[in-house]
Amino acid sequence: MDTLRPFPTLPTTPREFGFYVDGKWQGGRPLFDRASPGHGVPVTRIPKCTTDDLNAAVTAARTAFEDRRWAGLSGAARASVLLRAAEILKRRRAEIAYWETLENGKPISQAMGEIDHSIACFEIGAGAARMLHGDSYNSLGDNLFGMVLREPIGVVGLITPWNFPFLILCERVPFILASGCTLVVKPSEVTSATTLLLAEVLEEAGLPAGVYNVVTGSGRTIGQALTEHPDVDMLSFTGSTAVGRSCVHAAADSNFKKLGLELGGKNPIIVFADADLDDAADAAAFGISFNTGQCCVSSSRLIVERSVAAKFEALVAAKMAKIRVGDPLDPNTQVGAITTTAQNDVILGYIAKGQAEGATLVTGGIVKDLGHGQYIEPTLFSGVTPNMSIATDEIFGPVLCSMPFDTIEEAIALANDTVYGLAASLWTKNIDKALTVTRRVRAGRFWVNCIMAGGPEMPLGGFKQSGWGREAGTYGVEEYTQIKSVHIETGKRDHWIA
C-alpha cells in the first residue's frame, strides 16, 4: 500500500490491535474504541493494558539490555537494522499515514510528510550509531592513560503524545536504539496504532526481541507506572509542562532516573517592519495552523513592529481566510480536525476568554460545520496585551495573538515574557537585528526568515519550563548514554606504604 486514492475510504470495522512485549503480540485485554476525530466513527480498538503488562515489558527490556543482544553489537550492525527499518517505512508510508490521520485528525498530506521525516530520522540514527564514540587523554603523564567511554544508559521508558504520535516517536526511537538502549513505549491511548505498527516494522528489520516493547493504556495507569518504575534507567516524556513536572517528582521518588522532557511552548514570531511582509504573513498563518495549532513549536504569539502592525494583521487574516479546513482524508485539506473532544472544548474556551478579556477577534474563532467531526477555523486576535490569558497560556490550538512593539529591546522583552522557551521565529532583512535577537531570545529552536524548518540532524529541545535535554541528531544519541572515565596505569605504581 504505497499510494493512496484521493479520498481513501474509512474502514468498515475498527482495526483491532494487540500490544507488543518481548517480540510477541499479546492480547486478551479489554479494548478501547478510538473514533476518528474527523469523521466521528470508530476506527481502531486498542488494548487497555495492566501494570502487570508494563512490568513484563520492563523485564523484557531489562533482560535484552543485560544480555547485550543489542548493546553488544557493533555500531555498524545496529545501523544496518535502522536502515532496513527506513526502507520498510518507505514501503509502508501510505499505510502508516492513513492510520495516523484516522486516529489523530491531521490532514493526510501532512501525515505523509511526517512519515518522510520519520524515515530520515532512521537514516540519521543509523549514521549516528556508527559515529558514536568516546575520547582519550594522553596528557596524564607517561605512566597513566585515560579513556572516556560512552555507554548506553540502559532501559528507556518513552511516553509519546497524541499530537504527533509517529513523528515524535521516530524523533526518539532511532537515536535511542543507536545508543544501544532498549525501550518500553507508552503511546497516547487515543493515538496508539502507528506506535504498534512500528513494532511490525522493527521486527521485520531484524531488531532482536525485547529491545522495543509497546504497552498501551491510560497515562494515569500505564504512564504513571512507567515513570515510577525502579528498573527504568531513563524516561523520555513529551507533553504538557504540568505532566512533565509530575514526572520529575515521580523520578525523584523512585530511582532518580534520568529525564528527557520536551514540554509546552508559547512561541513568539517576531516581525520587523523591514521584513518581507508577505512571506512573514504566510509563515505566521502556517505556523499557527499546522497540525491545527496542536503543536508545541507553533508560533502562537505574533510580536510585530507597530508601524506595520495593522497592515500585517490584515495580511495574516487574508491568508487565514484561504486556508482549506476539511476532511483529513482529502489530500487538498490544510487543516484537519481537533484530535480530542476535550481539547476542542479548551480551544473554544480560550477563544471566548480572549473576547471577554477585550482582545479583538479579527478572523476565525468559529466551528466549521462539516456534518461530522470537530473543526475550528484558524483564529487571529489583535489588541492583545501580555497579561491576557490568551497571551500567556498554551492554548494548543489554531489561535494567534498579535501584540505590537516599538523598539528591538521591547520585542526581545515581549518574546521572553513567558515561562516557556521552546521555539521562536524572527523576520527581518537586517543582519544586526537578526543576530541580536537570536542571541537574546531564550528558545531551544530559533528560525530566522523561516519557520518549523530543519531536519533530524539538528537537536530538539527547550529552555526554561519547556523541558530538559535534547533529542535527535548526535546530541540525541548522546542523551541516552552515560560517561565512564577509565584510567590505565602503564608503569610501576609508586607505593604508598613503605
Give the tens place of pLDDT for each residue, 409-425.
999 999 999 999 999 99
* Three-state DSSP state, 343: helix
Task: Say what the pLDDT of residue 463 is.
Answer: 95
User: Which DSSP state fits 186?
Assistant: E
When the pLDDT of each residue in the chain is averaged and rounded to a whole number, the result is: 94
Closest CA to 446 of 408, 401, 415: 415
Whether the predicted pLDDT of 255 surpasses 80: yes
Distance (Å, rounded) from C-alpha 36 to C-alpha 239?
A: 21
Distance (Å, rounded) from C-alpha 139 to C-alpha 420?
A: 42
When pLDDT is cut at 50, 70 and 90, the band that residue 1 belongs to is very low
User: Which DSSP state fits 184?
Assistant: E
**pLDDT, tens digit, 9 for 90 and up, residues 219-229:** 999 999 999 99
**pLDDT, tens digit, 9 for 90 and up, residues 179-188:** 999 999 999 9
Assess contact for 260 and 471: CB atoms under 8 A: yes
Distance (Å, rounded) from C-alpha 169 to C-alpha 189?
A: 14
What does the DSSP assignment read for 195-253?
HHHHHHHHHHHTPPTTSEEE--S-IIIIIHHHHH-TT--EEEEES-HHHHHHHHHHHHH
Whether the predicted pLDDT of 490 surpasses 50: yes
**pLDDT, tens digit, 9 for 90 and up, residues 374-393:** 899 999 999 999 999 999 99
Task: Say what the pLDDT of residue 365 is.
Answer: 86
> Residue 445 pairs with which residues in a beta bridge?
423
Task: Say what the pLDDT of residue 7 is.
Answer: 65
Those residues whose C-beta lies under 8 Å from the C-beta of residue 457, and which sit 6 or more positions away, are 124, 472, 473
The pTM is what?
0.94
Closest CA to 370 of 403, 343, 338: 338
Whether the predicted pLDDT of 80 surpasses 90: yes
Assess contact for 147 and 486: CB atoms under 8 A: yes
| Given 262, 394, 478, 479, the catalytic residue | 262
Across 111-118, average pLDDT: 96
The distance from CA 189 to its chain's CA centroid, rounded to whole angstroms, is 16
When pLDDT is cut at 50, 70 and 90, the band that residue 152 belongs to is very high
Distance (Å, rounded) from C-alpha 75 to C-alpha 69?
A: 13
**pLDDT, tens digit, 9 for 90 and up, residues 46-64:** 999 999 999 999 999 999 9
> Residue 166 pairs with which residues in a beta bridge?
none
* Three-state DSSP state, 388: coil
296 as an active site residue: the answer is yes
| Given 49, 170, 181, 296, the catalytic residue | 296
**Cα(first)–Cα(last) distance of the chain, in Å?**
77
When pLDDT is cut at 50, 70 and 90, the band that residue 212 belongs to is very high
Across 200-217, average pLDDT: 98
377 as an active site residue: the answer is no
What does the DSSP assignment read for 108-155?
HHHHHHHHHHHHHHHHHHHHHHHH---EEE--S-TTEEEEEEEEE--E
C-alpha cell at 200: 511490525
